[in-house]
Structure 1
Amino acid sequence: MSDPASTGQRPARRSLREGIPLGRIGGVPVILAYSWFVIAAFTVAAYGPVLAFRNPALGAGAYYVAFAYALLLLVSVLVHELAHALTAKMYGWPSEKIVLNLWGGHTQFESFTATPGRSVLVAMAGPAANFALAGATWLVVSALHPTGVADILTNIFLWANLVIGIFNVLPGLPLDGGRLVESAVWKATGSHAKGTIAAGWGGRIIVIALALWFVALPLVRGGEPDTSTLLITVLVCGFLWMGASGSIQQGRLRSRLHLVSAAALAEPAVGLPESATVADVLRVTAGGGPAVVLYASDGRPTSVVDPVALAAVPASAAAVTPASAVAPVLGAGAYVPEWSKGQELLQYLAQLEGHDYAVIDHNGRVTGLLRQSTVVTVITGKPPRENTRPQDQNR
């Protein structure tokens, strides 16, 4: 979600960097990523000669038919992703966009509250759509008995949707079938995180199985895997492994969400008006007191006093030096209610600028200071990397 400063032309520029906008279907933006042209070129280069050999009458037209094959694959993937998006829309899950790319495509959702059952239904809608397309195409072929190029393309469309449907129900993330594993473990254990981790490991097992079947088995039998098959296997397995690993990492992070609480993680802080002087701050912080957050006349937190800059002010100038002179400005809206926690808190912080956030109570009074580094440490279990660039040290 964009803040006011990032509206206007920025979303359009971001879409253009990501790919070619194809418009909206069912209210969901569809983007054709530039990487799709890579798989389209590969399809033409790999399948064109095969078509020309099997159908000499086609001549150079075989390459146009191969390109039509790439377009039919694109349509199949688009229908698959639309099924996800429109099913999710039934449950009030907002779909941010559909991206069609080198790996097929994906539907990106905005934040929503999932349940095991609904997660399965949204996931399975994609393969179900492909099975429906395959079934409808089979009926057309059976009824019309097409010939020539029409016969080639309808059969390709039928088998492409059948393969896409079967492949996507394999039980491991990032494939749709992984949602079945995730939801089953989630339902059994009550832990969404454990379900995601289990489904991620399922994805890794699928990668190993594919590598054994398409690469290791031909070698064991004394043959060599076909070059095109080997390349496709490497690309698909690489994509699946990255997706499965990302799912495992996401599950591990989710398992720590209950530890993220603004009230629990914030260090003590007090608020002073922007009109306060350095002397006022020193009186509050005498003896190692709490952090000091300055607030505007409307009570909105605006800046945080820097202890190092505060200590550098001569004692003789403390009474006449405004506290704002030693207080770096907070990012716009960088304050959170002390009752914020979990995913809600993380999503809100992700929209804010800066690294420090004032924590306020129900009355708008400053009660603490939440550091981004503290949240990162709790979520990842590791301290954040220190940035030692001089320009960052002087901020």
Structure 2
Amino acid sequence: MDESGASGLPRTGGGDSGPPSEQDAAVTPADPERTDSTKPADSPRPTDTARPTDTAKPTDTAKPTDSPQPKARTERPGTSGAAGPEQAPAPVRAAASSDKGDAGSDDVKGSGTAQEKQEKKAPGGGLLMGRIFGVPIYVAPSWFLVAALITWVFGGQLDRVLPELGGARYLVALFFAVAFYASVLVHELAHTVAALRYKLPVRKIQLQFFGGVSEIEKESETPGREFVLAFVGPLLSLVLAGVFYAGMQAVEPGTVPGVLIAGLMISNLIVAAFNLLPGLPLDGGRMLRAVVWKITGKPMSGTVAAAWVGRALAVSVLIGLPLLTQSGALGAEATDSVGMDTVTDALLAAILAAIIWTGAGNSLRMARLRERLPELRARTLTRRAVPVESATPLSEALRRANDAGARALVVVNGHGDPVAVVREAAIVGVPEHRRPWVAVSGLAQDLTEGMKVSAELSGEELLDTLRATPATEYLVVEDTGEIYGVLSTSDVERAFVKAMDRSG
């Protein structure tokens, strides 16, 4: 690996072909100008070699790196009780990057199982419970802890209200916990339906500690849509509270159905009220963000305002909730002593405050990251490529790449049209003494339409394009169809991580 950290083709000998690449030392929005193209020696391609300006000499030690996968998805509103942290837009997942099989063998050609590998490695988010509207529903392990806590607390309350239940009160309390999270799921489904209505893809719904999260992959295009998307969750919780209130009129007070329905009505009111608090990452924070965005015309201004309100809200919860409980303002008896209930209230306040503070900070960080995402440009990150025919020995192809100062190989047909990209991982796995006897076709991945990307792509559009067709290398082409070079997933991931570091 060269000093800049970029991968490249193995050197086969010869003098220096140029300075090391600086393409992953900095990601700049400037559009590098194309230099004069260099035609490789004895190249079968009738056209000049496509080459971005950020070229580098191949190195002996260069190997593809398995960059850590930053999380790809934007976690959006739809939290009940508490919001989960936002996540960064995901870079494309490297597919088959660890292939180092025997050179020329069938098992190193292509990546027909790339999609299967991606699906196996995709984070499940907990226990898969099913799908609604095509969106998977997961239950996080933390949910079981909270469900047990709700069962224990509510069971204790039932012992005072319905002492005749005995031990069966815990079964009733467990039913209440499940019904409560069913209400949370309905809350999340409201966000999901609104997102799908606006053609925003939803990755999953997850029920977790203190509520749920709907993972919506893209930002709303307008502040009006952002407001609606955030508001529908609390609105549906209020509707559920009204339904349960109507149900209370039809049952006998002081009975098991009466107590359950009353509990569900109150809990949905609490969910709605809590989520309407005007601070990120809560739904009310999303609504505030939309309002400030509408007034200023800048989504970043809305995010900054809602995030700082969220942090202030976290401090208020940390200090105010225990004080309100101890003073009796929430319905309990006021007390001057420090007992188990006071400690429990303080712990609950600390957990809620930590969740809100962390979510607000992550929302702000992700907004700053999105401001830097346009700096991720296919034209800047692309490696110079040398065209070779399928029967060309690997050693000869590498010699041509060294002579041209290129760092990638593209297989072309007799007419000079690209048909495959030679995989860097496969090249590294070929011992040097075998390279004269191995044709590049045995190390190449056939090009599909999704593996041809425009040199003009940048930001989230670039990441979405690469994620749609997982691969280790992509052919980058001009609008005219001319080959510009090869884009490596590892280069994109390194640039993405650097953008995240600068946004922190």
**2:197 matches 1:90:** yes
Q: Is structure 2 residue 336 aligned with structure 1 residue 228?
A: no
Q: Deviations over 1:96-140 (max 9, x none)?
A: 332222332122234575321112112111100011111222233
**CA contact 1:36–1:101 (8 Å) conserved in 2:** yes
Aligned: 1:344 with 2:344: no
- 1:300 corresponding residue in structure 2: 419
Is residue 476 of structure 2 the alignment partner of residue 359 of structure 1? yes
Q: Structure 1 unaligned runs (5+)? A: 385-395
Residue 379 of structure 2 corresponds to residue 263 of structure 1:
yes
Q: Which residue of 2 aligns with 1:76?
A: 183
Amino acid at match of 2:202: S
1:123 aligns to 2:230 (yes or no): yes
Deviation at 1:87, TM superposition (A): 2.2
Cα distance, 1:282 vs. partner? 3.9
Q: Which amino acid aligns with 1:19?
A: L
Partner of 1:163: 270
Bigger fraction of residues in helix: 1
- The alpha-carbon distance between structure 1 residues 213 and 258, as it changes in their structure 2 partners (threshold 3 A), is same
User: 1:124 corresponds to which letter in structure 2?
Assistant: F
Cα pair distance change 1:382/1:32, threshold 3 Å:
closer
| 1:271–1:189 Cα change, 3 Å | farther
Deviates more, 1:50-59 or 1:267-276: 267-276
Letter paired with 2:409 = V
Question: What is the CA distance between 1:352 and its match in structure 2?
Answer: 5.8
Q: Give the Cα separation in 1 of the matches to 2:445 and 2:363.
A: 33
SS of 1:160's equivalent?
Answer: helix
Q: Which amino acid is 1:178 matched to?
A: G
Structure with more contact order per residue of length (Cα contacts < 8 Å, sep ≥ 6): 2
Residue of structure 2 equivalent to 1:205 = 312
Higher mean alpha-carbon deviation, 358-367 vs 84-93, is at 358-367
Instruction: Name the aligned partner's letter for residue 127 of structure 2.
Output: G
CA distance in 2, matches of 1:383, 1:71: 38
Matches within 5 A, 1:42-53: 42-53=149-160
Cα distance in 1 for residues equivalent to 2:304 and 2:467: 23
On the 8 A contact 2:386/2:409 being kept in 1, the answer is yes
Q: Residue 36 of structure 2 aligns with which residue?
A: none
Is 1:368 matched with 2:485? yes
Would the aligned equivalents of 1:99 and 1:106 in 2 still touch at CA under 8 Å? yes
Structure 2 counterpart SS, 1:256: helix
User: How many residues were matched structurally?
Assistant: 375
Match of 1:64 in 2: 171
Q: Which residue is equivalent to 1:5?
A: 113
Aligned: 1:250 with 2:366: yes
Match of 1:393 in 2: none
Q: Conserved in 2, the CA contact under 8 Å of 1:256 and 1:379?
A: no
Change (3 A) 1:111 1:248: closer
Among residues 114, 119, 127, which one is paired with 2:221 in the alignment?
A: 114
Q: CA 1:189–1:296 in 2, change beyond 3 Å: closer, same or farther?
A: farther
User: Aligned letter for 1:55?
Assistant: L
Matched, 1:152 2:259: yes
Q: CA deviation at 1:156?
A: 0.8
Distance 1:216 1:271, change over 3 A: farther
| Counterparts in 2 of 1:358 and 1:14: CA distance versus 1, 3 Å | closer
Is the CA contact 1:293–1:366 (under 8 Å) kept in the aligned structure 2?
no
Choose 99-108 or 351-360, whichever is displaced more: 351-360
**Counterpart amino acid of 2:466?**
L
For residues 320 and 265 of structure 2, the distance between their equivalents in structure 1, rounded to whole angstroms, comes to 24
Superposed CA RMSD: 4.0
The structural deviation recorded for 1:254 is 0.4
State the secondary structure of the residue aligned to 1:226.
helix
Q: In the alignment, is residue 272 of structure 1 matched against residue 409 of structure 2?
A: no
